[in-house]
């Protein structure tokens, strides 16, 4: 009888799951963005949400849950029901850098989430306030060496790729610059524009208007290739002595664990359809991003595992200590 009851339970679970997938979605979907408004997470998340909602036939509502380097928002998604009505748009921070930076997390990066698809890789832009007399990374290094411990730099937050990009430069160039973490890209940009911090490892799009207006000075991009938005601006790796420098951010879509495969497939296909549009590709170009990815959940999971190992090494090289 126990075997029969177990088999019946499995059968009823499959039936319920199939019924849920067949009627999905029947109400609006919440897309958690674990950062405040104004940064690339928020900008790209909102650019994806509206057309994704059209493709799914229900509104996708962006829910900004900033704080603790993405931990607060990621935790909310990890604890949400796996019914397809909560998804997350986020950078690799929640799954790749946080496990290397924090001793304990309130969620399991592998078991509490279901990968949906990767969106793109996005480089950062090193910008300086006019009060810092540097127009290149080489000049920045010279200033930092002449004034050790006196040049501060802003980042999205402790353990973010913005932070790691600064620490990687600090390690490779053998300079002493001081990290000032913020609760997202928006607040960091505001303080850099105000001159409260002279240097910022920023997303490209939010800082670009200030660069073009002369309010900030662009020093370099952190990816392996020059940005389409600033083709004359060198990469950090083009600076003598910094060959091999590369710090880019991966953006992706996740769902909570135990989300039915049929629903994950629906969200995946609807997302990939958005990535194929000229409008979204233009948005990615504006962010200086790579071509859209749109890979399978299985491919995304493999990429995350590989990047977790890669970023753990970067954290070790940069000298960061788990908190």
Tell me the residue range of the domain where 273 lies.
2-121+248-318
Tell me the pLDDT tens digit for each residue of 122-154.
999 999 999 999 999 999 999 999 999 999 999
CATH at residue 216: 3.40.190.10
| Percent of residues, the chain, with pLDDT higher than 70 | 91
Looking at the fold, whether 24 and 104 belong to one and the same domain comes out as: yes
* Band of residue 5 on the pLDDT scale cut at 50, 70, 90: low
Residue 198 has pLDDT above 70, yes or no: yes
According to the model, what pLDDT value does residue 85 have? 98
According to the model, what pLDDT value does residue 157 have? 82
According to the model, what pLDDT value does residue 305 have? 87
* Band of residue 172 on the pLDDT scale cut at 50, 70, 90: very high
Looking at the fold, whether 167 and 266 belong to one and the same domain comes out as: no
Placement of tokens 């664990």 in the chain: 257
Residue 95 has pLDDT above 90, yes or no: no
Size of the chain in residues = 323
Looking at the fold, whether 109 and 167 belong to one and the same domain comes out as: no
CA pair distance 159, 92, nearest whole angstrom? 11
Helix axis angle for 2-23 and 261-275, nearest 10°, is 30
CB neighbours (10 Å) of residue 290?
A: 18
Residue 308 has pLDDT above 50, yes or no: yes
Looking at the fold, whether 106 and 175 belong to one and the same domain comes out as: no
Among 180, 202, 172, CA closest to 43: 202
Domain boundary among 174, 203, 238: 238
Please tell me what DSSP assigns to residue 214: T
Across the chain, mean pLDDT equals 89
According to the model, what pLDDT value does residue 322 have? 64
Structural domain total, the chain? 2
Domain boundary among 238, 273, 297: 238
One-character DSSP codes across 106-159:
SS-TTTTEEEEEEEEEEEEEEEE-TTS--SSHHHHHHHHHHSTT-EEEEESSTT
Average pLDDT over residues 289-315: 87
Burial tier of 102 (Cβ tally within 10 Å: 0-12, 13-18, 19+):
middle
- Cβ atoms 41, 49 nearer than 8 A: no
CA pair distance 320, 77, nearest whole angstrom? 27
List, in sequence order, the alpha helices (H) in 174-232: 185-193, 204-212
According to the model, what pLDDT value does residue 18 have? 52
The whole model's pTM is what? 0.80
Tell me the pLDDT tens digit for each residue of 20-66.
567 899 999 999 999 888 778 888 999 999 999 999 999 999 999 98
According to the model, what pLDDT value does residue 112 have? 96
Q: Which residue would you say has higher pLDDT here, 43 or 297?
A: 297
> What are the φ and ψ backbone dihedral angles of 205, each rounded to 5 degrees?
-60, -45
Residue 307 has pLDDT above 90, yes or no: no
Average pLDDT over residues 201-220: 95
* Band of residue 8 on the pLDDT scale cut at 50, 70, 90: low
Identify whether 243 is part of a domain: no
CATH at residue 11: 3.40.190.150
């Amino acid at each position: 009888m126990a075997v029969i009851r177990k088999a019946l339970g499995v059968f009823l679970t499959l039936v319920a799951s199939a019924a849920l997938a067949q009627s999905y979605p029947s109400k609006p979907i919440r897309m958690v963005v674990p950062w405040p408004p104004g940064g690339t997470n928020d900008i790209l998340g909102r650019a994806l949400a509206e057309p994704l909602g059209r493709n799914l036939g229900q509104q996708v509502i962006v829910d900004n849950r900033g704080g603790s380097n993405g931990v607060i928002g990621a935790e909310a998604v990890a604890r949400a029901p796996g019914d397809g009505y909560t998804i997350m748009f986020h950078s690799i921070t929640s799954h790749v850098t946080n496990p290397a930076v924090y001793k304990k997390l309130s969620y399991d990066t592998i078991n509490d989430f279901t990968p949906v698809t990767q969106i793109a890789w996005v480089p950062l832009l090193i910008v300086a306030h006019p009060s810092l007399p540097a127009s290149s990374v080489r000049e920045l290094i010279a200033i930092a060496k002449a004034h050790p411990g006196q040049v501060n730099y802003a980042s999205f937050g402790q353990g973010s790729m913005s932070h790691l990009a600064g620490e990687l430069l600090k390690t490779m160039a053998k300079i002493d610059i001081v990290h000032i973490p913020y609760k997202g890209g928006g607040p960091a940009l505001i303080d850099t524009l105000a001159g409260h911090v002279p240097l910022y490892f920023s997303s490209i799009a939010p800082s670009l208007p200030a660069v073009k207006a002369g309010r900030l000075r662009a020093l370099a991009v952190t990816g392996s290739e020059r940005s389409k938005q600033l083709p004359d601006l060198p990469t950090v790796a083009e600076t003598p002595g910094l060959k091999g420098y590369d710090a880019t951010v991966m953006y992706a879509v996740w769902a909570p664990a135990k989300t039915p495969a049929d629903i994950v497939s629906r969200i995946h296909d609807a997302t990939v359809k958005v990535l194929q549009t000229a409008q979204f590709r233009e948005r990615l170009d504006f962010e200086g991003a790579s071509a859209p990815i749109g890979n399978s959940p299985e491919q995304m999971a493999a990429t995350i595992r590989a990047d977790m190992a890669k970023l753990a090494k970067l954290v070790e090289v940069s000298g960061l200590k788990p908190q």
